[in-house]
Amino acid sequence: MKKLVLLIAGITLLLNTSLAQSFHRRAFVIDFGIGANLSKIVTSQEYNAQIGHGSNTQTIRIKKDTTDNSGGIVFPLTLEYGLKNWLGITCRASYTKYFAGKDSLTGIKPDVRGIDGGLGLNLHVIKTKRFDMPIGITLGYSNFQSISNDSINSVAKDHGFNYGFAIVPRIYFAGHIGLSINLGYMAYTYPSVLFSNKNDSNINDNNNRIFKLKESGANIGVGLVIKI
């Protein structure tokens, strides 16, 4: 029994010694990457419409929900500080350039992009001398903008919030430098998209439009990791 206790204590000490090398309390980790985003887009809109003619004209309320798919290139930057040997707090920012097709009527390709940031926590479930695998959650702020590039400078934009989780294995090659792989899920909510152009700063007012957008999907990418 005594030998078993000593064996367990020895293994625990060995693991703690090696685990602290890949991530530890007060460690500072910088992770800059590039990835792909594949999402489902759900839009909900309401607006007033006129039906009938002359004295028989009536105003009705139209409600429509639409589901579509979207993709883009993501450039994330994550900073992490070690609160414990197994727990880190993160600060994340990213820029997303969405793929957008040409308008079927005008043939013009819009410019669609998003910027988001947030705070999160990483739980480091597996660590060795050269390998670290945190599981993280994040919550934060997002900004979305779609520029139509037409003759009247049509724009749709909003700000909202995001949340997500990810598994981010890190492989260290030379002490403090390594490679990360991001396998995650992110969701965005934009509750009040505003439409405007150079002639009208608030097109929504014209027909009392309410436009909501929700995006959710997978993020897959790689990054360069630097540990200080």
Q: Is 205 helix (H, G, I), strand (E, B) or coil?
A: helix
Predicted pLDDT of residue 21: 62
- Residue 17 pLDDT more than 80? no
- Residue 11 pLDDT more than 50? no
- Residue 10 pLDDT more than 90? no
**Eight-class DSSP state of 111:** E
Q: What is the CA 40 to chain-centroid distance, rounded?
A: 13
Predicted pLDDT of residue 144: 93
- Residue 118 pLDDT more than 50? yes
Give the CA dihedral 52, 199, 148, 143, nearest 10 degrees: -100
Mean pLDDT of 64-80: 95
Report the Cα–Cα distance between both ends of the chain, in Å, rounded: 42
Q: How confident is the model at residue 29 (pLDDT cuts 50, 70, 90)?
A: very high
Q: How confident is the model at residue 100 (pLDDT cuts 50, 70, 90)?
A: confident
User: How far is Cα 175 from Cα 5, in angstroms, rounded to an integer?
Assistant: 33
Give the CA dihedral 62, 67, 69, 70, nearest 10 degrees: 40
Predicted pLDDT of residue 66: 95
- Residue 129 pLDDT more than 90? no
Residue-averaged pLDDT of the chain: 89
- Residue 90 pLDDT more than 80? yes
Predicted pLDDT of residue 53: 78
Mean pLDDT of 140-154: 93
Which has more confidence, 107 or 10?
Answer: 107
How much is the pTM? 0.84
Predicted pLDDT of residue 12: 41
Predicted pLDDT of residue 153: 92
Residue 52: phi and psi, rounded to 5, are: 90, -175
